[in-house]
Amino acid sequence: MWTKTADEILASIARFTNDEYIVFLNLNPRFGVFEIAYGPHGMYGVHNNVIESPSHSSVAEVFRGQTREAVVAAIRAAAARNNDVRY
């Protein structure tokens, strides 16, 4: 996990030239900070409503090129299946 402040998280994904992002975060209760889940594989840019990622993870390969709405719907459906709905 990467431990970062909110400002550091935004700075680390600023290399995407997009205005919107999907970032997977975990709260580290010991330090009271958010961590980017899955390191660089937990950050996605949204450009013209299409998901972009420099990652080559299996999840990034599935998300890349899909619309923001499709990806958010898939995330919500997966969370609901796991009884872990926290969005």
Domain boundaries, the chain: 2-81
Both structure tokens of 23: 């970032």
Residues 59 and 78: their CA atoms lie apart, in Å, by 13
CB 44, CB 71: distance < 8 Å: yes
Rg (CA), the chain: 13
Decide: pTM greater than 0.75.
no
List the one residue out of 21, 79, 81 whose CA is nearest residue 46: 21
CB-based contacts of 28, cutoff 8 Å, min separation 6: 1, 3, 34, 35
Is the per-residue pLDDT at 8 higher than 90? no
- Give residue-wise pLDDT tens across range 35-50: 888 877 888 888 889 9
